[in-house]
A and B are shown apart, each in its own frame.
Chain A
């Protein structure tokens, strides 16, 4: 196989894995019981899903101009997703939209 074909196959694998993780993230956002749990789904599998999709796209396109943009998208995704999740989580907590029956411990309430 030529290096190009190998990269294409790796791209296929990355794109599929990224798509599946994004699907799992969507299911998690839908199924988890409260906002804070949903934010877990919106950060971890979602971020890795996007990174894998970007990796797949990069392996397929293989041009420097696109790679620069892809790296930027990845870096901003890593930097912004936790911040967005924290802002939503904090707002949800302050608005009392937390299911206390599902919390074993809440040290923030004791503050």
Chain B
């Protein structure tokens, strides 16, 4: 894998595209074998054929990442995600069974510092599983996620939710971002107020 910016853009996009297709192909073959429950030559062959057909008829959108997977970031993200999933579940479960309590909510727009497709998609996906937040709408051009916040108690809670989304974005970029993207997220301005 070459560092971004060392190849001409056109060529880099094409090789990046091939690399993405190849990675997707590998995952599909693996999933096929797991579905059958065992790794045999027959399953491998079937997986190669099925994955080829799937990628041919349902091509992936050109979402690519030029960074690299950081193991340390992945560990931090993973452990934090498990903790937050448990906290979120406990929180929602508690207010679900609390008698006579009607939670108030809000919809806030959060502008991500790094509005790439991959970052938008991953942040949107994960923030639905961590405490308080649920994705409602994505403004892809502006890089804004519209987030539903459950159980709001005053304006300070909304500022906390915004900060949480930005912290989540940073943890994701620390797993998959390139060095330049990481700098952008670490030093980029955080909008206190929307937009």
Instruction: Give the B-binding residues of A (Cβ under 8 A).
Output: 21, 24-25, 27-28, 31-33, 36-37, 39-41, 43-45, 47-49, 64-66, 68-69, 71-72, 78-79, 81-83, 85-86, 89-90, 93, 102-109, 111
Nearest opposing residue in chain A for B90, CB measure: A45
Instruction: Give the A-binding residues of B (Cβ under 8 A).
Output: 31, 33-35, 37-38, 85-86, 88-93, 95-97, 102-109, 124-126, 128-129, 131, 134-137, 139, 146, 148, 150, 152, 155, 158, 194
- Docked-complex contact A102 and B92, CB < 8 angstroms: no
Q: What 20 additional pairs, Cβ within 8 angstroms, besides A103-B107, A104-B155? A: A24-B96, A27-B97, A36-B134, A43-B129, A44-B129, A45-B88, A69-B34, A81-B129, A82-B124, A85-B128, A85-B134, A86-B124, A86-B128, A93-B107, A93-B136, A93-B137, A102-B104, A106-B107, A107-B194, A111-B139
Nearest opposing residue in chain A for B133, CB measure: A40
Known contacts A33-B102, A82-B125; A108/B93 CB under 8 A: no
A99 to nearest B CB, angstroms?
9
- Docked-complex contact A105 and B108, CB < 8 angstroms: yes
B125 to nearest A CB, angstroms?
5
CA–CA, A31 to B99, complex, Å?
10
Known contacts A25-B93, A36-B105, A89-B148; A104/B37 CB under 8 A: no
- Docked-complex contact B89 and A44, CB < 8 angstroms: yes
